[in-house]
Structure 1
């Protein structure tokens, strides 16, 4: 069946669920380290506490890709059942994670949250390739990125907004402030509603040959399909994997370390260590509360600044949406420019000391984020078998989660020392990694992949 070109609102509707997915990712990325620190984690412990996130992606995404490739229901479709399951689980985890009373509970909720987000997210990538002809793939992934940018910006500023509405920003030692809990609750609701919107407004194409699909489904097994897909992985996918490795190492470093790095380096307000205070001595509780308030306020400012990378990725995606609607996009050079710009944003953090310049840094980083969420997937979708799109998108996720696992298992802590022992060193590592990702685009040479 020949795929027809879709209009703006049709693509918008099928991508709208990403608003909720990004609410989950932005709240997780912007505030989990803060929750860990509030519960007593030291800065050097944080990357290890984050390891649950990439590990779940490594396991979950290929499985969900395989299952959605081999699912078809005239009532529920192919990808939509997985959207809904992931949304329900993610909303549950988002609501409860800020109520964690200990580090191990918070780490456990992070595990559940990331696994659930991955259940929803992987089929969304495959849905674009399912529904759109090759000539609209760049347009479709860029429009997804526009919605992701909107979600990132709003969600990153939610705790600040709720705080401004009058909710308490102070709490007892080891307790998450009330306004953070409310922000996560709002995020849970938005996640579920936005996924339901896509499910109710989007129809999926049936397999081209339903009988052949049913026959193939009987013959397929997960491991057979997995090993066949690994063996037949196109060279373009491997080259994109190099770019993805450096890109996602950089962003994992940012998500896990931006709060401890920037609260100390820019705002001189590191998280207070409870062990350094003797609460039996008069004045020590007040001193802790004052230091904690400074840290929470600085964390809000870092979260708001991080929200700007969602805003600039949204503006970048909006520009590309208008451009890609009428013309082909040189995916290779757009991606190269964007990654290098983001790398410079991270590197500038080493020489700045004020909020306004921090905002500029995150605006540059947003160009990278906007491109990372669209260009690699557009290039990949032009180089793989459409019947295996879910599995291949799931396997492509290996190049996202493996660098994050390496980062969590000591990569961030050990490599950051190359840039000194200061709090800002991890951000300099992230910048260098993004620049390497940009240069790696020279590996991509296939014309069809570059132009779309």
Structure 2
């Protein structure tokens, strides 16, 4: 078939959809091991409850930096491996190495510092692989398959998270020791990270080997995608802007920095101020380059695309902000909440604490398993009946109810019911926004827009990591249960904000 004859992307069958997203199964194993076990690792290595948000800040910060850059680069990449696949492979190699080294943290002179450094490497590497996978679905599928494509991807995300989350619990039931000396990681955790690293690499390799990306010429030949985007227009628009907005960002950053001492806030809030000021300086530099007519540099391109986001993306950004605030609260605080309030222990060397920590793995397994099923069964049915936007609002509301149950329930078994609502919300968060975006954004810039969209996932996580600790220490010291009420409220606001998206489509 010649390039000129192509008028629409071929429709993908079952195995095509399977191969395109199977690598995300492995990536999510890595994320699940990270999300369910890093608070446990940090506490075991001597971190206090108040230290956790600062240690966790690595995850959102690396995503904030990595994803827009990888999105911009992958849009412009074409080599022997293709457009997105070189980034799949690079990220998978480094993520697998980080999972291999993480359990060895107690052997190093500064184990907590080493574990934090490995979390940075792990999260950065997972983001290098993950961001192109989001754009990959849009690259490979025709518009009328975007919803099913992202639903299949979400199903693999849920399945991978089930495998990653259940590893420690399963290994314990196979006779592997779940208790270790103070300062040491149990064998269940160590083996889980090692098995997970191997599974991650092999799953990503499967997608690389079994898929063939469309060349830039083929993409340009598809109906509705022929040179429709002026890639330098956002940079030209940036050249017309003043430096006022940049100055405002810098000023906000300085105000936050000064407020740390004035209001006795936690030191990690300094990071938030530094990031605000850094964005102001970078945006000023991007504007200066644009004014000089330098339209092809990466900085001006990223800042210009961010400033010129389509309206539908702006409205979804607010939804993402509150949705991911709730999720990050859950990932940081579920282990302390369950071990303290349900299993009655804060001693990381006790059997009760480790039983509670393993139960968190079970809870996370349930919500991810529910997400995998909901992605293929519930979401398509709701979308056909109510549309994508209303479906997303319904699912987020169910998730808010699930978080509220954590605030009031003290029975480990009943918390499984709460995870059903959270799992449905998680499925929708992973599928609906991306299906909406892929169908309403230019394919030639899908990578950068997906990378920029990640900012609205990362920023709320940074706020939770920097501000939540100070807020909880001020209002509810030693009482992490209140974080779940904040999570329920955030997801409720996200559900309401979703209804505004219809006006932009």
Q: Secondary structure at the match of 2:30?
A: helix
Alpha-carbon contact 2:325-2:490 (below 8 Å) kept = yes
Relative to structure 2, which stretch is displaced further, 419-428 or 183-192? Answer: 419-428
Residues 120-163 of structure 1, C-alpha deviation per residue, up to 9 Å, x if partnerless? Answer: 00000000111111111111101100111111112111011111
Say if 2:149 is the partner of 1:140: yes
The 1-side partners of 2:344 and 2:392 are apart by 35
Aligned pairs (5 A) from 1:12-411: 12-73=18-79, 75-101=80-106, 102-208=111-217, 220-272=296-348, 292-320=350-378, 323=381, 330-411=387-468
Is the 1:417–1:425 Cα contact (8 Å) retained in structure 2? Answer: no
Name the SS for the 2:198 alignment partner.
Answer: helix
In structure 2, list runs of 5 or more residues that go unmatched.
1-5, 221-225, 233-293
Report the secondary structure of 1:373's partner residue: helix
User: What displacement does 1:444 show?
Assistant: 0.8
Taking structure 1 as reference, are residues 150 and 390 closer, same or farther at Cα in structure 2, changes over 3 Å only? same
8 Å CA contact 2:155–2:376 kept in 1: the answer is yes
Q: CA offsets per residue over residues 75-122 of structure 1, 9 Å max, x none?
A: 311000100000000000012112212211111110000000000000
Distance 1:224 1:188 in 2: 36
Query: Is the contact between residue 333 and residue 480 of structure 2 (CA under 8 Å) also seen in structure 1?
Result: no
Alignment partners' CA distance in 1, 2:392 and 2:149 = 16
Counterpart Cα distance in 1 of 2:468 and 2:75: 34
CA distance in 1: counterparts of 2:297 and 2:385, whole angstroms: 38
Give the C-alpha shift of residue 411 in structure 1: 2.6
8 Å CA contact 1:153–1:310 kept in 2: the answer is yes
> Does the CA contact (< 8 Å) of 1:143 and 1:321 recur in 2?
no
Change over 3 Å in CA distance of 1:370–1:86 after alignment to 2: same
Deviation at 1:271, TM superposition (A): 3.0
Q: Which runs of 4+ in 1 moved over 4 A?
A: 209-213, 215-219, 320-324, 326-329, 415-421
C-alpha separation in 2, matches of 1:415 and 1:340: 24
Question: CA–CA distance in 2 between the matches of 1:431 and 1:402?
Answer: 18
Instruction: Report the equivalent of 2:12.
Output: 6
In structure 2, relative to structure 1, the CA distance for the partners of 1:187 and 1:209 (3 Å cut) is: closer
Corresponding pairs, count = 427
> CA RMSD of the aligned region, Å?
2.3
Paired position in structure 1 for 2:252: none
Q: Could you report, residue by residue, the CA deviation over 1:200-239 in whole angstroms, capped at 9, with x for unpaired residues?
A: 11111111379999x9899732123213312321111111
Q: 1:3 to 1:351 in 2, by over 3 A?
A: same
Q: How big is the shift at 1:177?
A: 0.7
Structure 1 residues 133 and 259: CA distance shift in structure 2, 3 A: same
- The CA distance in 2 between the partners of 1:420 and 1:56, in whole Å, is 29
1:171–1:122 distance in 2 versus 1, CA, 3 Å: same
Match of 1:384, SS? Answer: coil
- Stretches of structure 1 that go unaligned for 5 or more consecutive residues are 273-288
Taking the aligned partners of 1:435 and 1:9, their CA distance within structure 2 comes to: 37
Q: Greater CA deviation, 315-324 or 10-19?
A: 315-324
* C-alpha spacing 1:184/1:253, structure 2 compared with 1 (3 Å): same
Measure the CA separation in 2 of the matches of 1:306 and 1:31: 11
Give me the whole-angstrom Cα distance separating, in 2, the residues matched to 1:55 and 1:295. Answer: 29
